[in-house]
Structure 1
Amino acid sequence: MTKPPPTTRPVITPSRVVAGVCLVLPFVAMLWVGSYARVTPALLGIPFFYWYQMAWVIVSAGLTSTAYLLVRREERARKGDGR
């Protein structure tokens, strides 16, 4: 009779927590509209409402890349341990 595969529980590590925060932060920033629903300060004539959202596009890309690298590094370390 074959043995069932061992059940593995998900592991919560500091790098996964940081990756999760990196992924949640842009959502929170964009859903909290009251923090950026204004015209001033303008940047090069562009109202704050618009340039704040466009800045978050760049910040979100950086945070997503950081989360990806953290998880990938952890997975590589885990495979190297033989787990």
Structure 2
Amino acid sequence: MTPARTVAGLCLLAPFLGILWVDSYARVEPTLIGIPFFYWYQMLWVLISALLTLVAYRIVRHEQAATARLRTESPRTAESGEER
């Protein structure tokens, strides 16, 4: 596994850890616009999860593009005349 994929995996793991540890947010205070912490914390994780999923997607796509570029620019394939 590459370091980029590890970072992408951690981006996808963070929301699970943030939501599954219920004791950390099972309370009423502090409220936000009259909304108890328990609810707005979970709604905040919806936005954070979307952003982290986007980051993970971009990391993986960038790595795939770099790998494809390396395959097409490989000197060994160009010398032997092989095509993939």
Bucket of the pairwise TM-score, normalised by the shorter protein:
0.7 to 0.9
Please state which structure has a larger fraction of its residues in helix.
Answer: 2
Task: Look up the SS of the partner of 1:42 in the other structure.
Answer: coil
User: What's the TM-score, normalizing by structure 2?
Assistant: 0.84
1:24 aligns with 2:36: no
Rg larger for: 2
Count of aligned residue pairs for this structure pair: 72
Give the Cα separation in 2 of the matches to 1:54 and 1:19. 22
Choose from 9, 24, 39 the match for 1:50: 39
CA RMSD of aligned residues (A): 0.9
Give the Cα separation in 2 of the matches to 1:51 and 1:69. 27
What 5-or-longer segments of structure 2 have no aligned partner?
Answer: 73-84
- Structure 1 stretches of 4+ moved >2 Å: none
What 5-or-longer segments of structure 1 have no aligned partner?
Answer: 1-11
Percent of counterpart pairs with the same letter? 58
Match for residue 67 of structure 2?
A: 78
